[in-house]
Amino acid sequence: MRPACTYTDFFVVCTGRNARQTVSIHDEVYAQLKRDRILPTSVDGTKEGTWIVADYLDVVLHVFTPEARSFYRLEDLWADVPTLDVATA
């Protein structure tokens, strides 16, 4: 994200099939990072589950439902920033 923004180095953007799955994705990321004593400075959206954002300072995690990702279109908003697509196993 740098030099396009000053508050983080990376956005991680992913999609769950529904709100329940987005919460599960967030919970698993949180649990894995907590084991390494890495905790977010803030988290929002876990109650609704349509767009969960967790701020880990250098990395900001965004977990969307398909509808929310299509509506907010972060990739279009930040189109001038290089992207890296990561396939899931």
CATH of the domain at 26: 3.30.460.10
Residue 88 counted as domain residue: no
**Position 84 in a domain:** no
pLDDT in tens, 9-20: 889 999 999 999
Q: What is the pLDDT of residue 20?
A: 97
Residue 5 falls inside a structural domain: no
Q: Are 64 and 46 in contact (CB under 8 A)?
A: no
Q: Please state the domain count of the chain.
A: 1
Confidence of residue 1 (pLDDT cuts 50, 70, 90): low
Tell if the pTM clears 0.95, that is, is over it. Answer: no
> Which residues, 6 or more positions from 31, have their beta carbon under 8 angstroms from its beta carbon?
none
Q: What is the pLDDT of residues 27-45, one digit of tens each?
A: 999 999 999 999 999 999 9
15, with CB counted inside 10 A (0-12, 13-18, 19+), is: middle
Containing domain of residue 65, as a range?
A: 10-77
